[in-house]
A and B are shown apart, each in its own frame.
Chain A
């Protein structure tokens, strides 16, 4: 495939609540990725930053912020904001530059210092902003949306809170094996059940936390990789960056209502399903080819939804897949071998890049105790506010 992009380096700053500036996490992750690639910062022709909007003004120009901190060296620069999909779209920007010949080797960086507690919109009275409106008019936090999806799954598919808890049990056991994870303790189903309800039916341990963290990648064209002595790198074969199609009939963050299907018949496929399908089509693979998947488990119930959206099983069969151990390490298709957001928490601009770091380490066979045996093809799927969706397919 001539459209492949090589992953030469991957790096992270460990996630947690460190209380420092996001730039520090991004620079640490960038240096780790450069060292992993065997390259100097001066060798990099372009830097792409995934934006944070909570770091104040510098966050809006993340690419240049990281470039300044690493030392101005004249690289091409871009900054990408796509909410939770920012990292994947930063990867896509780097890939487009490489495939078009604008750059040989690109550094992608995302980092954040998240606030404690609920995410919230930026300040001021802004009734033209749907994100502001859902808080002001309804008090609808992110976990309340996760609660709506979870309750809907219970009613339509017969999922139970015990099924949801088993997602946490699985992911926390894997996070305990990951030195970059914030939470490194295996959690039991009883501990999930004993945690406080946040948004019925979901409890505190069903919902991912907010975290500080950083992740970075060094990407290049296949020719550059060969010249650099890397004959068989992990390759990114697809990055989907699709929007929904009208009418979008699944209530989603941050909207107060869905589109109406009164005039136009909705597509058979939901938005989240289309995110995966676009990546599969571009990569020329299908769900049956996957060795493993990394998905946004913003809640335990949402991870189950992704099983169906990625085509790992039919509609309504996700809990069965989980119960059978298919998505655990050692199963046919392990999901969130990294420990997922359950173990990392959200550091918004970094998390989709962190997913690709995990794809890279797994496909290199370098994931240590959490290694998926014989990993050849991996997908990372995510979704961001305001109709951003991305998935990345990587192969070895």
Chain B
């Protein structure tokens, strides 16, 4: 539903942002209009892959079913998911994302290292909507 926010498979999966050629500011979600640094003369916005790993800035979960436009199947019991805000060191920004399936708040601490992995937001008979997810490093399902 959003184009060009992430790319790649497996170990090569990355969030995709843009970087200003004049001031080096990085934007995620990608900024393709103009650089938002008020002190920048304005440069080209070039696509850039963000760091694969970062540290947990904070985390929470959603114990109640969110309203639309989030898509859930009301026929199924609600399964809470975890949200993690992750600080990327070299880009110096914080990116929010869902945690990989099975990761609960009990598995997390602020400052812990996590990595970005491909995931499925939801799927129906015709379409699988993919997304990015955060997963503690060293964990493989």
Contact = CB atoms under 8 A, between A and B. Distances in A.
* Co-complex (A, B): yes
A148 to B, nearest CB: 4
B91 A199 contact: no
A249 B95 CA distance: 11
B2 A197 contact: no
Given A125-B69, A155-B111, A200-B60, A261 B97 contact: no
B95 A148 contact: no
By size class, the interface of chain A is 35 or more
Given A118-B64, A152-B110, A251-B96, 10 more contacts: A135-B68, A136-B69, A136-B71, A137-B2, A140-B83, A141-B64, A148-B58, A199-B61, A249-B92, A260-B92
B23 A149 contact: no
Contacts of A151: 58-60, 110
Contacts of A149: 58
Contacts of B68: 120, 135
Contacts of B58: 148-149, 151-152, 155, 251
A133 interface: yes
Contacts of A221: none
Interface of A: 117-118, 120-121, 125, 127, 132-141, 143-144, 147-152, 155-156, 196-202, 246-247, 249, 251, 255-264
Interface residues of B, number: 47
B57 A251 contact: yes
Contacts of A134: 96
Given A118-B67, A258-B94, A148 B85 contact: yes
Contacts of B105: 200
Given A148-B58, A151-B110, A138 B97 contact: yes
A164 to B, nearest CB: 13
A387 B97 CA distance: 21
A198 B63 contact: yes
B114 interface: no
Nearest to A150: B60
Contact of A144 (B27, B37, B39, B83): B83
A261 to B, nearest CB: 4
